[in-house]
Amino acid sequence: MARFIRSVRDARGLDAVLVWLALGYLGVFSAFPLVYNVVISLQTVDLFSLASFERPFVGLQNYREVLGDPVAGTVLWNTIQFVVLSVVFQLAIGFGLALFFQQDFPGATYLRGLFLAGWIMPALVVGAVWSWILAGDFGVLNYLLRSLGITDGNIFWLSDPNVSLYSVIIANIWLGIPFNMILLSVGLAAIPRDVYEAAELDGAGAWQRFFTITLPLMRAPLGAVVSLGIIFTLQQFDLFAALTQGGPSNASNVAQYWSWQLSFQTYQISYGSVVSVLMIVFVVAVAAVYTRSTRHEQSY
């Protein structure tokens, strides 16, 4: 016993305890669910066999069924659009705002803090607010567009199949901007002032300074923000639940929502697992890129 306590007190034993704690936690709360999910995706599982172990293995049959579903193509294309457009605009606008607040003007830091308000709100609340803004017959946005003479009739943001996906994207961009802005602001603040001053003395204009100093030095934060943005966007579920439920006619359905629908609306839990396994594979790839980008982070 005394030896054990001594080994914990000296650093080596403590290290071992910490490592096992962390590994144990990861094993129980991350690895097990992940592996279990993969197992379910290879079996026939519905709501009632979920708790029993008598579940026939069907190999890749579920994958063939899910990928062969005519909806799969629509969902894949929607997911790509949702992720790419959301991330690009969140990043561009967030970066723009970060640069804007980098200018020293009175109240800049307070105003920047206020921008976080949107990010703090639960996505379901944000969804409810946007559903009033975007409502077809009585929506605020339609009223505004009509009053300004931009449109003649109402646009049915949530029920027009050509528009509904973009409505959710708009709401999601709005939701993600503050997070992007804050992370990038931190990155910007870490760039030493004297680099800019030296460049200015050498006659570099604002654009030159941006492209030769800001962008290269922001490589790591930008990489992190893009990777996190992709991961968060793939996790975005509440907005779909609140705004369109993936409709009409799957026009705004994306992988994460489809997975839920398969599991909990038609109770084809194995099919839902297939979709989430495919998503995990993709997210792991993104996460790998993210960890690489943070490993190369430079210090000044």
Partner 1 sequence: MKLKTCIHAVAGLLASTAIVSAQEVSLDLWTIDDPGEYHYVLAEEFMEKHPDIKINVRTVQFEDMVNDLARAVATGTGPDITYIDNPEVALFASRGLLMDLKPYIDKSEIVNVEDIYPGPLASVTYEGGIYGLPRGANTIALYYNADMYREAGLDPDNPPKTWDELYEAAKALTKPEENVYGIAFSAVATEEGTFQFLPWLQMTGGDYDNVATEGGARALNFWKRLLDERLASPDTLIRGQWDSTGTFNAGSAAMSISGPWELPRMSEEADFEYRAALLPVPEEGATRASALGEGDNVILASTDNPDEAFMFVEFLYAQMPRVWNEFGYLPASDVEVTDPNNAEIYAVFEESMKYARNRGPHPEWPRISQAIQQAIQSTLTGQAEAEAALETAQQKIDGVLGD
Which distant-in-sequence residues (6+ apart) come within 8 Å of 161 by Cβ? 248, 249, 251
Which stretch in 79-87, 135-143, 216-224, 230-238 sits in contact with partner 1 by CB under 8 A? 135-143
CA distance 204 to 9: 57
Residue 52 CB, shortest distance to partner 1, in Å, is: 7
According to the binding rule CB under 8 A, does residue 129 interact with partner 1?
A: no
Residue closer to partner 1 (CB basis): 191 or 251: 251
According to the binding rule CB under 8 A, does residue 237 interact with partner 1?
A: no
According to the binding rule CB under 8 A, does residue 1 interact with partner 1?
A: no
Here's the x/- map for partner 1, 260-289, by CB under 8 A: it reads as ----xxxxx---------------------
If one counts every other C-beta atom within 10 angstroms of the C-beta of residue 90, the result is 25
Which one, of 120, 105, 106, 245, lies nearest residue 177 by Cα? Answer: 120
According to the binding rule CB under 8 A, does residue 136 interact with partner 1?
A: yes
Number of residues that bind partner 1 (CB under 8 A): 27
Q: Which of 214, 227, 244, 293 binds partner 1 (CB under 8 A)?
A: 244
Which stretch in 197-205, 213-221, 227-235, 245-253 sits in contact with partner 1 by CB under 8 A? 245-253
Q: Which of 54, 104, 137, 152 binds partner 1 (CB under 8 A)?
A: 137
According to the binding rule CB under 8 A, does residue 152 interact with partner 1?
A: no
Contacts of partner 1 in 197-236 (CB under 8 A): none
Residue 89 CB, shortest distance to partner 1, in Å, is: 24
Residue 46's DSSP bridge partners are: 268
Residue closer to partner 1 (CB basis): 171 or 183: 171
Residue 234 CB, shortest distance to partner 1, in Å, is: 22
According to the binding rule CB under 8 A, does residue 44 interact with partner 1?
A: no
According to the binding rule CB under 8 A, does residue 247 interact with partner 1?
A: yes
Residue closer to partner 1 (CB basis): 96 or 161: 161
Which distant-in-sequence residues (6+ apart) come within 8 Å of 162 by Cβ? 251
Residue 51 CB, shortest distance to partner 1, in Å, is: 3
Residues that bind partner 1 (CB under 8 A): 47-48, 50-52, 135-138, 156, 158-161, 244-251, 264-268
